[in-house]
Each structure stands twice: as C-alpha cells, then as structure tokens.
Structure 1
Amino acid sequence: MSFINDIKQAYYNANIVEKIIYINVFLFLITYIFTGFVIEWFTLPSNFTAFLYKPWTLITYAFIHQRLFHILSNLLVLYYIGNLFLDFYNKKQFVNCYFLGGIFGGLVFLINYYISNKYGDPLGGASAAVTAIFVAIATKIPRYALQLRFIGSVELWVLATIWVVLSILQLAAIDNGAALAHLGGGIFGFVYAKQLEKNNDIGKWFEAILNYFSKLTKSSKKSNLKTVYKSTNRTQSTDVEKSKQRKIDDILDKISKSGYESLTKEEKDFLFRAGKK
C-alpha cells in the first residue's frame, strides 16, 4: 500500500505534463492486459460509420499505445518538450494545444479514409498531440538551443523538423493514416502558436468545456479563510510568473533580432535552466 500511496502522491504533485505521462503509462499497462477490449473500444477506427458509434475514441485514441518503443518515444519527447512549452505558455494553453492537436490529427485520419473509401488499422498513440506541442513551441522559439549529450547545441526548429520529416517519410506506406494524423497535429500546433502571437487563443472553447465539467466536480462551499489564503498565494505566484515571462520575452526579442549567439552567458543560462524545469 505504501508503494501505491507514493504513486498517488507523485501524481498529485506532478505538473500537467507529468500527469499526462502517468496516465499514458497506466493505460499502456491496462492495454497490455486487456488488449482486445481496449483496442476495440478506445482506439480510433478508420471506418467513419464505426466512429459514429464510438465518438469518444477521437480523444481516447491518443492515450492508447501497444508497442513499448511507441510510448517511450512519445513520452520522452513530451517530457522535455512539454516542460519547455510550460516555460513559455501556461497550463491551460498546454491542455488546449495537446488535446486539440490530438483531435485535429484524428479528424485528418478519419477524413482521409472517408474520402479514399478505404479502411486501415485503427489509430492509437499520442503522436499527433505530441507533434502539436513540439511544433507549437518550435514556432514560438525556433532558435532556442537545446544541449544534447554527444551532439551538442541544436536549435529547436531543427529538432522539430526532424520529428515532422519522420512522419512525412511514413506517407509512403500503404496504410499512411497514422502519418497523416501526426502531420495534422503538427499543422494545428503551428496555427495555434501563430494565433497566440496575435493574442487569439483558438482553444478557448475547449478550455470553457473543461472548466464547465471541472466546476461540476468541485465542492460548492469553501471557508472564507481558505479562500483568502489561496487568493494571496495566487497573487504572489502570478507576480513571479509575470516577471519571469517579461524576462523571457525580452530574451526572445533579442534572439529574433540578433540570433541566439548574441545572448550573454547569464541570458543563456536562464533559458537553459528554464528548459530543464
């Protein structure tokens, strides 16, 4: 029981990226045990009529992995790139981009088979959602450099390009629906980041839906003391976040004008520390 309690505590203390990783790992184990049932009811079918009987699969498919390498590659990228995403965007924007990237990728998958009048393997995996996050943050800070062991400094746009090209190469396969879904997620991530630059969050409607269901699960009454305490913490946290964001924005402006190498050692160190959190 202590082990289970430790896992619960780790989950409750985790940020949104880590929570999604925990959920994916848990469902991977469930899929391993109940493979037939999970694949039948929670992956996204290529047959549009079958999808109409299981519309929830447009979301659940992104949490279903069958192969160990598949889930490892997705979650490793999500851990590093997702946490970097949170340094430049907020939690709600991460949720919007991740889930809507997965949904958009799923729609591209469905439309492809509907138009071609073909059927392929059902879609499973977080690749479309992860690609949306990857492309979005690479669009935001393309010249941000990551330090990779045995390789050295590599700018984010290069890594994102390699990730996307791997999906493009998969288009040559006979059953290329999964590759199209990945690219669909990438397109959404690019558009999402570009719209945020214009202060337009195209995922607000999805956020509103989540907020509605979240309010239904919360208790209706809280003590005044508890409310004041939370309000104070929220104000302090907001001030820190705003200060950090201002510094990040100043550094990004400098990168866009003069390139990454124009940064001082202190500025590079600050971005590097931000990327590791």
Structure 2
Amino acid sequence: MSNNTFKDLKHKVFQSGDPSYLYIGINTIIFVVFALINVPFFLSGNGGSAYDGLIREYMGFPASLQQLPYRFYTILTYQFFHEGFFHLLFNMLWLFWMGRIFLDFLKPRQFHFVYLCGGFAGALLYLLAYNVFPVFAAVTASGTATVIGSSAAVMAIVVATATLVPDYSLRLLLLGDVKLKYLAIAYVVLDLIGTASPAAGGSFAHLGGAILGFAYIKMLRGGTDWSNIFKKKPKLRVVKNNTSGKTTAPRKNVDRVDQQEIDAILDKISKTGYDKLSREEKETLFKASKH
C-alpha cells in the first residue's frame, strides 16, 4: 500500500468527520489485529481460537447478571468485535449504504448517538431476554452465553434511516428498486423468527437496536432530539459595552435553516419519496446537514 493511499485512508477514517467511515475503520482495524493474534493461538495446538478463549470471555457482553458488575464495560466493547470475516463484511456494507443516506438528512452527532445507543439497547434487550425466558435459563446459568458484533448498532442505523425516509429506494441485485421501509420490515421479521433459534442472542440484540432507531426518529419528529446530550456547551463570551450609545442589529445567518421547513420536507419525503423533492428543497436539506 502506497504512502498516499495510507494517508487517504487515515484522513477518511479519522479526520474527515464522517462517523460512518470512523466506525467502519475502527471495526475493521480491530478485526484485523485480533485475526492476526489468532494465528499463533490456533497454530499452538491448544484448540479453539482467540475468539473462544479471549474475545468472548473478556469483550463479549454476558447474559449472566452475576458477571455484569465486573464486565460492565462490555456493553461498549462487544459492539466492535466480530465472529468472522463475513460477519464483519455484511455489517460494514450495511453501515456504509445506510450511513450515506442517514447523513444526507441528519447530523454526525445524531449518527453517533443512534449507533452507540443502538448497541447499548441491543445488549440490554439481549440481557433481559436471557434472564426472563425459561428456555435460556440453563445457558445463562452456565456463564458461557455472550454476544458480540456491531449488528445491533447497524440495525439501529438501518431502522432509523427507514423510519426517516421510508419511501427512499435502493436498487438491489435481482430485486430491482426496493423501498427502505420494506427492507427494514424484512430484517425485523427475520430477527423475530430468529428468536426461536440457537442464535437467538444475536436476534434479540438486533431487535433492541431496531427499537432504539425507530424510537429516536419518532421522538425527533416530535421535537425531542436525544442526541443533544452530545452537544458541546457554548463557551461564555465577554461582550464589550457599547459606549457610543449605538446598537448594532445581530447579523442574520443566511445559511440557517428553519426547523419547521425541514420537518415539512421530511414529511414530504415520507409521503412521496426523496426523488420528488425540488432542487431548492434538496439544497435546504444539504444546508441543514451542515449545521
């Protein structure tokens, strides 16, 4: 890899300000590093893999309530480890595709909130399910049940995007143009079916992320933005007294976009689709995404 290519990747992941690239980069780097660690672990002949002996035990989110007090940090770490290459690949592809659409309409701060809190919600629903439903009692008591993967966080982004712009279409191989709302519904139904399978833990985590993504957009439309907890508090400024007796009218920001106008455009998208927006409306959304 040339030096310029490395610099471009570094800039895109860590300096561009695009959260989708940031999370794709972090997930990929962690996967590659631990995959390399797994090589001598496997070749040593001790059996198993680093994922069975290290990642699952110390980085995976546990189903056991007894383990949670000293593995509390795993509610974050489990989101950045994957079982295998294809587990990582499909999650990162969906994160890239949905991330591009999400960031066309909303802010990076909101992306960070939905991604991270979607992962948290997925872990909590997984924990609840494994401690409520009797079918999981034995595996939960054994202390071996854990969940890893960014699927819950990615699912939150997917469902949030589909809730925001349900009639936005993606062109899929063999299927043609498919609206986001149908894709999201299909994934939720598959995960509901998956709760009655040996891989039920992952399905419950996905559903937790989906609930968070849906609830976030519904609250946002109602005027409540949960991601405001990530906002930086404005610094205090000292204003010099005007001794001349003249008052200066505040300068109006010409790029500022009225929230009511944005809400009206989003409502239009939900009814007729993004493609029906005028050029001016698309420019308004673009400006809003920069603030």
TM-score (norm. length: structure 1): 0.76
Could you tell me how far 1:50 is from its partner in structure 2? 1.5
1:5–1:267 distance in 2 versus 1, CA, 3 Å = closer
Say if 2:162 is the partner of 1:138: yes
Could you tell me how far 1:201 is from its partner in structure 2? 1.8
Structure having the higher helix fraction is 1
Instruction: Give secondary structure in 2 for the equivalent of 1:192.
Output: helix
Distance 1:268 1:195 in 2: 23
Instruction: Give secondary structure in 2 for the equivalent of 1:147.
Output: strand
Task: Tell me the residue number matched to 1:7.
Answer: 9
Could you tell me how far 1:43 is from its partner in structure 2? 1.2
Could you tell me how far 1:53 is from its partner in structure 2? 0.8
Task: Tell me the residue number matched to 2:185.
Answer: 161
Distance 2:77 2:254 in 1: 36
- Cα deviation, 1:20-58, whole Å, max 9, x if unaligned, reads 000000011123134233332211122222121111100
Q: Which amino acid aligns with 1:129?
A: A
Task: Tell me the residue number matched to 2:276.
Answer: 263
Could you tell me how far 1:246 is from its partner in structure 2? 8.2
Output aligned runs, 1:73-152, within 5 Å: 73-115=90-132, 116=134, 117-118=137-138, 119=140, 121-152=145-176
Q: Which amino acid aligns with 1:10?
A: K
Output aligned runs, 1:214-233, within 5 Å: none
Instruction: Give secondary structure in 1 for the equivalent of 2:178.
Output: strand
Question: Is this contact kept in 2: 1:144–1:155, CA < 8 A?
Answer: yes
Distance 1:86 1:102 in 2: 19
2:267 alignment partner, one of 237, 241, 253: 253
1:37 alignment partner, one of 8, 32, 54: 54
- Segment drifting more, 140-149 vs 89-98: 140-149
Unpaired segments ≥5 residues, structure 1: 216-234
Question: Is this contact kept in 2: 1:31–1:65, CA < 8 A?
Answer: no
Instruction: Give secondary structure in 2 for the equivalent of 1:49.
Output: coil
Distance 1:79 1:241 in 2: 28
RMSD of equivalent CA atoms: 3.4
Task: Tell me the residue number matched to 2:246.
Answer: none
Could you tell me how far 1:113 is from its partner in structure 2? 2.0
Aligned residues: 246
Percent identity of paired positions between Structure 1 and Structure 2: 34
Output aligned runs, 1:182-197, within 5 Å: 182-197=206-221
Unpaired segments ≥5 residues, structure 2: 38-49, 236-250, 287-291
User: Which structure has the greater CA radius of gyration?
Assistant: 2
1:79–1:246 distance in 2 versus 1, CA, 3 Å = farther
